[in-house]
């Protein structure tokens, strides 16, 4: 996963203004060690800067998602989570039993998308996939 990339350059290259709110939210997500819920992002932004309100944080999250800089995921709990991806492809396996999240090999996704293209002539724009099921450890317990 692409982490320490200059967020200002990425935002500017996407034709957007570089604002304090965008940089603060990007910085919070870049230093996180995984997925963050929107309330967690809001709380971290509050610690970093008291001058950005919650609604602005939510708008910036949506904006960074639309730019392909942030992945938005909904896992079993239904809560929306965010992760800095800086435009890279990023995929997960999510266990609905233990709520664990594991990386999904990008080569497998590319093979599948190639098969979809060959079979259907359809080119999907796939930068973030979450597959939900049951991990090996949980299956062995049952």
Instruction: Spell out the domain ranges in the chain.
Output: 1-88, 89-142
Q: How far apart are CA 92 and CA 112, in angstroms?
A: 15
* Tens of pLDDT, residues 84-122: 887 666 777 888 888 887 888 888 888 888 898 999 999
Within 10 A of 92 (CB to CB), how many other CB atoms are there?
20
To which residue do tokens 């938005």 refer?
A: 72
- Average pLDDT of the chain, as a whole number: 85
The average pLDDT across 34-39 equals 89
Residue scoring higher pLDDT (27 or 103): 27
58, 71, 111, 130, 134 from 64: Cα distances, Å: 10, 9, 28, 19, 30
The average pLDDT across 28-38 equals 88
Instruction: Give the pLDDT of residue 43.
Output: 95
Nearest to 41 by CA among 132, 26, 113: 26
The third-level CATH classification (topology) of the domain covering 1-88 is: Arc Repressor Mutant, subunit A (1.10.10)
Nearest to 69 by CA among 91, 90, 56, 84: 84
Instruction: Give the pLDDT of residue 76.
Output: 63
Instruction: Give the pLDDT of residue 88.
Output: 67
The average pLDDT across 115-132 equals 84
* Tens of pLDDT, residues 42-71: 999 999 876 899 999 999 999 998 888 888
**Fold match flag (1-88 vs 89-142):** no
Superfamily of domain 89-142: Ferric-uptake regulator, C-terminal dimerisarion domain (3.30.1490.190)
In the predicted structure, residue 16 carries a pLDDT above the cut 70: yes
Nearest 10 degrees: CA dihedral of 26, 30, 35, 39? -40
């Amino acid at each position: 996963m692409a982490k320490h990339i200059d967020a200002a350059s990425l935002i500017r290259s996407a034709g957007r203004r570089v604002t304090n709110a965008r940089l603060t939210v990007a910085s919070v997500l870049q230093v996180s060690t995984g997925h963050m819920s929107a309330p967690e992002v809001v709380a971290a932004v509050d610690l970093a800067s008291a001058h950005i309100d919650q609604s602005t944080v939510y708008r910036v999250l949506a904006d960074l998602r639309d730019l392909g800089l942030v992945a938005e995921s909904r896992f079993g709990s239904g809560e929306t989570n965010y992760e800095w991806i800086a435009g890279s492809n990023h995929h997960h396996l999510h266990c609905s039993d233990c709520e664990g999240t594991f990386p999904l090999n990008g080569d497998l996704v590319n093979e599948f998308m190639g098969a979809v293209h060959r079979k259907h002539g359809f080119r999907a724009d796939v930068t973030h996939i979450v597959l939900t099921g049951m991990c090996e450890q949980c299956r062995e317990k049952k």
